[in-house]
Amino acid sequence: MALIESNEKMNGVAQEPVIFAEKLDLTFQTNDGAVQALRDVNLTINKGDFVSFIGPSGCGKTTFLRVVAALEHPTGGEITVNGMSPDEARRQRAYGYVFQAAGLYPWRTISKNIELPLEIMGYSKESKREHVDKVLKLVDLEGFGEKFPWQLSGGMQQRASIARALAFDAEILLMDEPFGALDEIVRDHLNEQLLALWGRTGKTIGFVTHSIPEAVYLSTKIVVMSPRPGRITDVIESTLPRERPLDIRDTPEFLEIAHRVREGLRAGHAYDD
């Protein structure tokens, strides 16, 4: 808790929920009958939080992120984003979304890809260039703006897609397993960069992952979920400092949090085996 208080002081703002979910339910109607993707999800995410969602496939972590983004609509309960409905928040450009696949348009250069949301949102020409330059610098891709996606490595492509999500100054960044398809070395590097970016920008980040070390390393809050029906089994507030070199992963504190996450995952699975 000490960490959160210090966060508060650093940001100079009072704790206000950016994302607030209460008794959230979501049931999909499929050909095989109803599937409960989310059941009774209660969660508060504050400004500047880095929240990871971890759990096995089908636990609803991605679904929850999609509900926040108004890509899915809940069948019960309540959710607000910046105090509004998700749909309204989307119209107000509240969040940028990063998908597992970078999904850059192969016919656009990196700059043009980052410009895409700005074009749709009607930014002026100078303002577009300004924003593109700013976010390219933010993800360390200066000088690559004129390249086409196929000329970049997978890690660089994913950084470009993060830049695209940051381009229009949304305060919330939603990331759905953004590094899931990358190898571990690249992943470590991107994790480090993402933390630095978070530190510099003070964004609120929702991050879906399969990896326990990744979740513990990045987050201020770890949401452990379990499947059938998708629900939250544990919410862990991280006690790690905000400044996190990669070797923090060898400290006892880190291992303890990782252990608790693993326990949470196991508990959620118990009735399954």
Q: What residues make contact with another protein under the rule CB under 8 A?
A: 69, 71, 90-91, 95-97, 99-101, 103, 105-109, 116-117, 119-121, 148, 150
- The Cα 50–Cα 40 span in angstroms is 22
Min dist CB 204 to another protein, Å, is 16
Min dist CB 97 to another protein, Å, is 4
* Buried b or exposed e, range 59-74, using 16+ CB within 10 angstroms: bbbbbbbbbbbbebeb
Min dist CB 94 to another protein, Å, is 10
Nearer to another protein among residue 18 and residue 224 (C-beta): 18
Nearer to another protein among residue 101 and residue 248 (C-beta): 101
For residue 97, give the nearest of 205, 188, 222 by alpha carbon: 205
Min dist CB 125 to another protein, Å, is 17
Nearer to another protein among residue 117 and residue 206 (C-beta): 117
Spatial contact of 53 and 209, defined as CB atoms under 8 Å apart: yes
**Burial degree of 271 (CB within 10 A; 0-12, 13-18, 19+):** exposed
Nearer to another protein among residue 92 and residue 239 (C-beta): 92
Min dist CB 10 to another protein, Å, is 29
* Sign of CA pseudo-dihedral 165, 116, 185, 144: negative
Apex CA 215: angle with CA 261 and CA 224, to 5°?
40
- The Cα 92–Cα 79 span in angstroms is 16
Nearer to another protein among residue 98 and residue 225 (C-beta): 98
Min dist CB 212 to another protein, Å, is 25
For residue 55, give the nearest of 271, 189, 173, 227 by alpha carbon: 227
- The Cα 224–Cα 201 span in angstroms is 26
Q: At what angle do helices 125-138 and 154-166 cross, to 10 degrees?
A: 130
Nearer to another protein among residue 111 and residue 226 (C-beta): 111
Min dist CB 128 to another protein, Å, is 14
Min dist CB 107 to another protein, Å, is 4
**Burial degree of 81 (CB within 10 A; 0-12, 13-18, 19+):** buried
Nearer to another protein among residue 112 and residue 262 (C-beta): 112
Nearer to another protein among residue 119 and residue 183 (C-beta): 119
At position 30, the amino acid (one-letter code) is: T
Q: Fill in the DSSP letter of residue 15.
A: -
